[in-house]
Structure 1
Amino acid sequence: MSTQVHRPTENPEALILEAWAQGLMVGALVVMTAITYANMRSGVLLHKLILLELVLALPHGTFIFAPEPAYGWYLSATAIGLIISWSLHNVIAWLKNKAFMNRPVSVFYIGTIILVQPYWVLEIYANFAYFNEINPAIYEKIRPWEALLRDPWWIYTTCNIFWVIKTHYNFKITELVRECPRFGLVLGSICLSIIFLVLDILSAIGVFQGAMKRGINPFWKLCFIFKCLCDTIILDDFKTALDQLRARWLAQQGVANHFSLEYGNHPTFDREPRSSPTRAVHSSKHPYTVEHHA
């Protein structure tokens, strides 16, 4: 196989696919950036990190416009912001989910995110060497491993949020979606991101080699769009959002007071059980709300 990777001007189908994928990513990120900025509150670190995640990734959706020989240089330079955004997404997932993790799991989660950063430094160089035809072999060897160092935290977050909804809040998924369509969009976006993650891995290991030009892969862009969408639909952490939703549900059922759920020995939740005649809600200590997201 030829090691040359150029701007796909000689292959109209590849050019259309890459331009479409980049345009979709940029358009989605621009809209999500505007919505995030309009709904974020000053002084909330999580909101600022979500905005930064979106802004850092935006330039990488424009490298299709760069002519040769600037194409490889511009692609590699904008990839640095994208890679930082990927790591930032895992930090955001940790902040959104850490209320549902005990301390050892939380420390392991954020610690492993820090430990994989040397790989991303290597990938920045490998990306530059690949698209500028300096040493393509490095990128070809490490690219199939990219998802393993990028997405396990997101997969854990996905599994954990479904488990928490089912066990601690005693919501059926259909009931949750009916009560809060916004949360239904979050869960749908999570599932779509996992589907496109699998397709990205298959593309990276060469399963679609005969169907797409070398170097063209729209799947990671679609996966990234839906991961960012999960962050922007509900800006606050998952516990705050679920607590607010549960409190509203109880109010609609005519329950006068909010009740706390006994979580046993789980160290991350309040341990002051109160008797409840109906399904219980864990009262949030956080000041955030979810009602402001229009």
Structure 2
Amino acid sequence: MTAISTSRSAVCTLFEGHYHYGVGALVNSLYRHGFRGIVWVGYRGKLPPWARAARQTPEGYDLEVAQNCLIRFLPLQIDIFFSNYKPYFMLDLWDRYGLEAERLFYFDPDIVVKCRWSFFEEWVDSGVALCLDGAYAYMPATHPFRLQWQQFACRQGLEVRRWPNEYYNGGFIGVRREHRVLLEAWRTLMEALRQEGVNISSFKNYEGYNIGDRSHPFYVADQDMLNLSVMVTEVPLSVMGTDAMDFTGAGFTMSHAVDAPKPWKKNFLWLLLKRGRLPTLPDAEFLKYIDRPIPLYSPLRLRLRRLNYLASKAVGTFYHRH
């Protein structure tokens, strides 16, 4: 096996079920934009079908993707919903699995990278790398959620040290080891939610709370507590706008497929003809990274998926003109 450099930067993500397609596309996009190193993948269930060549290790499975690029699969036996497990996993990589890299990046498995990898390293060297959320990018310092979060933090013995006007998306974060206190605060707050009766084993379905919509301050637990973690720490931040995840135009860094169904589950032509839904920019970006260096589909299925997308674009253009 090729020796893999582990000293500079590492990437991690979490998946189960069909989200393995997103993991494969993420890794392909990373590699093709210059990432070299280890992608740490926590998972439940089975290994992806495209990872059949992975070799077993004492901790999981390793798959050599290409020259100097490795996926390290770690099976996880936990009762926490994966969206809520991010700070636990990132800290475990440093503390339990012996990660040597000074920079650690988490990406949701429905994100692909669009620009040179060295930009991400430059970004996190300026501070904890974060992106504004697409739905609630502006959340004033006097927002009622922030005041309720402050009360929650105080009950945990944590002091609010800053009052941002921005709300950050939890699908991506880049952290240098020296700024890990933010991850520690995030994990502490997630555990505190659990102690107060919030069921972090599910998504937006919390026992002990009447949570039915976004009016609840813990409706999106991982993301809300990430934002509170920023409030109770003083580590430097480096924040990009909604363009950074293709929530708005002119983005050059990432594309985040937040809507359902996910790009790998879509029949693009059917969605257009039956529901009038055109393919999105994240759909197009996903399809760029499904072939190499990891082939996610057989040659026939790959061709059919791309033809399905192109047909929907052509039909959509025809109807738009008429």
> Structure 1-normalised TM-score?
0.26
Of Structure 1 and Structure 2, the greater helix share is in 1
Structure (1 or 2) with the greater strand fraction: 2
Greater Cα radius of gyration, structure 1 or 2: 1
